[in-house]
């Protein structure tokens, strides 16, 4: 997909459907949507609008993996120093959301960019 408002809406619907079809409840599907949205939003901030990104949702045992690949290999996620409840902050909350929903998320460089993988625990899923 290219990161645009229309594609973001379609991506969120596709993520929700993928998680619920795999047996995850609406709660985990909404978490997966939020994680994917944050990662795509970060890609747009780093690379610009209409950035080509790949969003994958993978059922892995009792987890849902949300993976977002963007074409910028050198711009890594970076936490801003302000507190998450700082009303004047214009950003910097996304990585804290990832930490809360998918602790231990990771970034791997790829030949054409980088991939961020978030693992969401989902005990309702039957291992594949």
pLDDT digits over 27-40, tens only? 999 999 999 998 88
Mean pLDDT over 80-101 rounds to 65
pLDDT tens, position by position, 67-77? 999 998 887 76
Structure tokens at 31: 């978490």
The model carries a pTM of 0.82
CA 50 to chain centre: 17
Measured CA to CA, the distance from residue 52 to residue 115 in angstroms comes to 13
**Per-residue pLDDT, 55:** 94
Say what percent of the chain tops pLDDT 70. Answer: 82
Structural domains of the chain in order of their starting residue, each with its CATH number: 5-79+91-121 (3.30.565.10)
For 35-57, the pLDDT digits (tens) are 999 888 888 888 888 889 999 99
């Amino acid at each position: 997909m290219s990161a645009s408002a229309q594609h973001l809406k379609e991506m969120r619907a596709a993520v929700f459907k993928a998680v619920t079809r795999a047996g995850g409840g609406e709660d985990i599907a909404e978490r997966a949507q939020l994680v994917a949205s944050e990662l795509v939003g970060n890609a747009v901030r780093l690379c610009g609008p209409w950035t080509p990104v790949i969003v994958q949702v993978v059922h892995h045992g009792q987890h849902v993996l949300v993976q977002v690949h963007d074409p910028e290999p050198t711009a890594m996620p970076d936490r801003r120093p302000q507190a998450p409840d700082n009303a004047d902050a214009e950003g910097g909350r996304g990585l804290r959301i990832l930490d809360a929903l998918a602790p231990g998320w990771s970034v791997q460089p790829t030949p054409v960019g980088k991939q961020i993988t978030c693992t969401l625990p989902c005990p309702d899923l039957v291992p594949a």
